[in-house]
Structure 1
Amino acid sequence: MTAVWNRREWLRRAGMGAAVLTFTPHLLAKEPIVAQQSRVSDDDEIALGNKFAEQLEREEPIVSNPVIDAYLNDMVHDLSAKSQRPNMPYHAKLVNTMEVNAASIPGGGLYVNRGLLAMVTSEDELAATLSHEIGHVVGRHALNQLLLSFQARALLKPVLDNLHKNNGIVEQIILKLGGAVGMLAMLHFSRADEEQADMLGFYEMLRAGWDPHGFIKLFNMLEKIEREAGGAPPRFLSDHPPTPERRAAIERELREVSIPSNAKTDSMSFHAMKAALRFLPAPPKPQKAQPDKR
């Protein structure tokens, strides 16, 4: 069970002084506190994330633009620094696809689709998306699902035994299980995981200086996507709680906190990033399915 501490207890255990109290009353009204115990160490998680990322970036159309890369990584750095796992090597890369989505992997790697950046209309909406993905890293959600997947196939021990070796064994196991993209597609976060990622992201945003009303804008965008799909949630939302439930939970939290008057909602840097999208190469065309030659 995830422990939920009150604000004073969180501050005491985090080693924060009374000066934080002047930032905003009720800052940590209901933040879930993630247990520090894990089946693997942080170093093992980072090693797995690095090997997973190497394979993922062979399979996905990663694209680089100095303006976009710097903007995304600055935001991820600021948000993750206010998370419950600030010492992980968080970083973001851009995927050249118009599918509206973002994903995170063990160790702190975030992958943001071009289509998402094209869709968001304000910086706080993007901050909500990225903080949600950081919340998954904080909660070790992808890590736990991958470990369960390896264990179910009796492959956990060879993975753990070879995480810190450059012998290609872990990479071969990832390919055997469908590749990095295939394994990510098969991950099924629980509703509790998704709710926890929302709440963790909410407080990351608040502490980092963004207005968490950005989550409401994010949910409005998701509902627009659902309407355009005929009311059915897209694949990447299939494991999430219904969007109205997510909005209601965030609205309850918004009533419990005081948001500073200077909380960020937009910036010139955000609009510079949006402008830089126009200079990216066209996304690769989807590959046609090969005919069955049996």
Structure 2
Amino acid sequence: MNNYHNIWKRWFYPLISVITALTICLTTPLPTKAIDLLPLIYQGIQAFNLSRLSDSQEIDLGSQMNQQIQKEVRISRNSLLNNYVQELGMKLAVNSDRPNLSYTFQVVEDEAINAFATVGGFCYINTGLLLAAENEAELASVIAHEMGHIEGKHLIKQMREQAVINGVASSTGLSKSKAVGIGVKLALNLPRSRKDEYDADARGLKILTHTKYAQSAMVSFMRKLEKTSGSLPTILSTHPGAKDRIVSLQRQISNNPSKDNNGLDNVSYKAKIRSIVN
């Protein structure tokens, strides 16, 4: 009986508040004011409180951002390539600290060596990065790193900070359209902090290790990017502190070594990727 009473109280008062607000809005003697208030009430109901996002809300936000991102980048229509990356990602997702998220892994047709993630399980891998990786373990290390950002809710933290700076957050939170806009801009253009990079590396290494891929692949891929001739690879320009991160990864591997060396077959990986991409 007490449980029923508590549930009733939990839903009754918020419902009364909404009904009261709508009643005031609809019965006000100034029609123009009523029209102005309705969108504000609706916007408040649709607001995201970035400090207390549920998993379902985060997935919804990630889905909305994905729709916008698909207008900004060219998602590959190569089903074989997307299926390969999705299958690899889901293999890693089993060992994520957030396996309840509906992870989605997509390939972006772009020669730049880059990858990024948003929220709610959405990860994006450039074709340039797929071709730059020497083997599946190196590719898996990058995907695991991006999943580390999702685990740590790093973009959500950046969005919250940016909303405060821009003065667009209200007492109810951030409207869906503004949240999507800020999130997409941050994901595509702005770098993560060094703290977030170290955290994503540690989380990614854990995922990689539990999936039995070679730990060394995360270090070897980062080293190769550092030595890339010409301009700095996009993934390093948006992920600062590569040298220090390598040292940190080596220390973590030394403290918790794994005997598993899966995914280091360079020849089969290169043949597979080139046959699919080209």
TM-score (norm 2): 0.73
Query: What corresponds to 1:114 in structure 2?
Result: 127
Deviation at 1:270, TM superposition (A): 6.6
* From 207, 210, 214, the counterpart of 1:211: 214
Check 1:47–1:217 CA distance in 2 against 1; reply closer, same or farther (3 A cut).
same
| Paired residue secondary structure (2:249) | helix
CA RMSD of aligned residues (A): 2.6
Query: What corresponds to 2:205 in structure 1?
Result: 202
Query: What corresponds to 1:273 in structure 2?
Result: 273
Deviation at 1:80, TM superposition (A): 1.6
Give the greater-gyration-radius structure (CA). Answer: 2
1:45-87 CA deviation, whole Å, 9 max, x = no partner? 1111111110010111111212211110111111121011111
Deviation at 1:271, TM superposition (A): 3.7
Deviation at 1:91, TM superposition (A): 1.2
Deviation at 1:212, TM superposition (A): 1.1
For the 8 Å contact 1:122–1:266, the answer to whether it is kept is: yes
Deviation at 1:262, TM superposition (A): 5.3
Give the structure with the higher percent helix: 2
1:183 equivalent in alignment to 2:182 = no
Check 1:228–1:251 CA distance in 2 against 1; reply closer, same or farther (3 A cut).
same
Identity %: 27
**Structure 1 unaligned regions, length at least 5:** 1-36, 164-169, 279-294
1:255 equivalent in alignment to 2:254 = yes
For the 8 Å contact 1:125–1:214, the answer to whether it is kept is: yes
Check 1:119–1:262 CA distance in 2 against 1; reply closer, same or farther (3 A cut).
closer
Check 1:47–1:130 CA distance in 2 against 1; reply closer, same or farther (3 A cut).
same
| Paired residue secondary structure (1:106) | coil
1:236-259 CA deviation, whole Å, 9 max, x = no partner? 424534322111111112212232
| Paired residue secondary structure (2:227) | helix
Check 1:235–1:96 CA distance in 2 against 1; reply closer, same or farther (3 A cut).
closer
Deviation at 1:95, TM superposition (A): 0.9
* From 101, 104, 113, the counterpart of 1:88: 101
Query: What corresponds to 2:71 in structure 1?
Result: 58
Structure number with higher relative contact order (C-alpha < 8 Å, ≥ 6 residues apart): 1
The count of residues paired between Structure 1 and Structure 2 equals: 228
Check 1:269–1:67 CA distance in 2 against 1; reply closer, same or farther (3 A cut).
farther
| Paired residue secondary structure (2:256) | coil
- Alpha-carbon distance between aligned partners in 1 of 2:152 and 2:174, rounded to the nearest angstrom: 24
| Paired residue secondary structure (1:111) | strand
After TM superposition, which residue ranges in structure 1, 4 or more long, deviate above 6 angstroms?
A: none
**Structure 2 unaligned regions, length at least 5:** 1-49
